[in-house]
Amino acid sequence: MKGTPLIFERSCPGREGFRLGDPGVPEVDLGATLGRDFLRSELDLPEVSEVDVVRHYTALARMNFGVDDGFYPLGSCTMKYNPKINEEVAALPGFANLHPYVPEELAQGILKLLYELQAYLAEITGMDFVTLQPAAGAHGELTGMLIIKKYLEDRGEKRTRVIVPDSAHGTNPATAKECGFEVVEVKSNPDGLVDVEKLKEAVDEKTAALMLTNPNTLGLFERRIREIAAVLHERGALLYYDGANLNAIMGRSRPGDMGFDVVHLNLHKTFSTPHGSGGPGSGPVGVKAFLRDYLPVPVVDEKDGRYFLNYRLPRSIGRVRAFYGNVGVAIKAYAYIRALGAKGLREASEMAVLNANYLKKLVEDLFVVPYRGPCMHEFVVSAKNWKQNYGVRAADIAKRLLDYGYHPPTMYFPLIVEEALMIEPTETESKETLDAFAQALLDIHEEARTRPELLKEAPLSLPVRRLDEVKAARDMKLKW
Partner 1 sequence: MRYVPHTPGQVAEMLAFLGLSAVDELFAVIPEEVRFKGELSLPPALDEVELRRELEALAGANPGSGYVSFLGAGAYDHYVPAAVRALASRPEFLTAYTPYQPERSQGTLAAIFEYQTMIARLTGMDVVNASVYDGASALAEAVLMAFDLKRKKKVVVSGAVHPEYVETVKTYCYGVGGEVSLVPYTPGYETDWGAAEKAADGEAAALVVSVPNFFGVVEDVRRAQELAREKGLLLVVVANPISLALLKPPAAYGADLVVGEGQPLGNALSFGGPYLGFLGARAAYVRRMPGRLVGETVDALGRRAFVLTLQAREQHIRREKATSNICSNQAQNALLAAVYLAYLGPRGLRDVAYHSHTRARYFLTRIDEAGRGVRVLCRRIFNELVVEVEGLEEKYQQALERKILPGLKLERFFPAEKNRLLVAFTEKRTRGEIDALLEVLGVK
- The whole-angstrom separation of Cα 120 and Cα 334 is 9
Q: Which of residues 427-446 bind partner 1 (CB under 8 A)?
A: 427-431
Q: Shortest distance, CB of residue 123 to partner 1, whole angstroms?
A: 5
Interface with partner 1 includes 398 (CB under 8 A)? yes
Q: Shortest distance, CB of residue 454 to partner 1, whole angstroms?
A: 14
Residue whose CB is less far from partner 1, 111 or 199: 111
**Using CB under 8 A, which of the segments 202-210, 233-241, 317-325, 442-450 binds partner 1?**
317-325
**Using CB under 8 A, which of the segments 134-142, 232-240, 386-394, 447-455 binds partner 1?**
134-142
Residue whose CB is less far from partner 1, 200 or 346: 346
Interface with partner 1 includes 448 (CB under 8 A)? no
Q: Which of 154, 205, 388, 472 binds partner 1 (CB under 8 A)?
A: 472
- DSSP string for 83-132: -HHHHHHHTSHHHHT--TTS-GGG-HHHHHHHHHHHHHHHHHHT-SEEE-
The H or E element spanning position 230 is helix 225-234
Interface with partner 1 includes 177 (CB under 8 A)? yes
User: Which amino acid is located at 270 in the chain?
Assistant: T
Residue whose CB is less far from partner 1, 389 or 472: 472
Interface with partner 1 includes 285 (CB under 8 A)? no
CB 413 within 8 A of CB 75: yes
Q: Shortest distance, CB of residue 392 to partner 1, whole angstroms?
A: 16
| DSSP conformational letter for 409 | P
SS3 131: strand
Q: What is the dihedral of CA 252, 203, 146, 244, to 10 degrees?
A: -30
Q: Shortest distance, CB of residue 29 to partner 1, whole angstroms?
A: 10
Q: Which of residues 68-127 bind partner 1 (CB under 8 A)?
A: 68-69, 72, 74, 77, 79-83, 85, 87-103, 106-110, 112-113, 120, 123-124, 126
Q: Which of residues 342-381 bind partner 1 (CB under 8 A)?
A: 342-348, 350-351, 353-355, 357-358, 361, 373-374, 376
Q: Which of 128, 157, 160, 183 binds partner 1 (CB under 8 A)?
A: 183
User: Which amino acid is located at 279 in the chain?
Assistant: G
**Using CB under 8 A, which of the segments 230-238, 327-335, 437-445, 447-455 binds partner 1?**
327-335
Q: Shortest distance, CB of residue 309 to partner 1, whole angstroms?
A: 11
Q: Which of residues 189-248 bind partner 1 (CB under 8 A)?
A: 220-221, 223, 225-226
User: Which amino acid is located at 374 in the chain?
Assistant: P
Q: Shortest distance, CB of residue 312 to partner 1, whole angstroms?
A: 15
Q: 30-59 mask for partner 1 (x: CB under 8 A)?
A: x--xxx-xxxx--xxxxxx-x--xx-xxxx
What is Dmax (Cα atoms) for the chain?
77
Residue whose CB is less far from partner 1, 203 or 250: 250
- The whole-angstrom separation of Cα 289 and Cα 325 is 21
Strand partners, 162: 183, 209
Question: Nearest to residue 425, comparing CAs of 357, 367, 343?
Answer: 357
Question: Nearest to residue 269, comparing CAs of 325, 211, 329, 339?
Answer: 329
- The whole-angstrom separation of Cα 299 and Cα 475 is 46
Q: Shortest distance, CB of residue 153 to partner 1, whole angstroms?
A: 10
- The whole-angstrom separation of Cα 4 and Cα 197 is 53
Interface with partner 1 includes 293 (CB under 8 A)? no
Q: How many CB atoms lie within 10 A of CB 200?
A: 14
User: Which amino acid is located at 195 in the chain?
Assistant: D
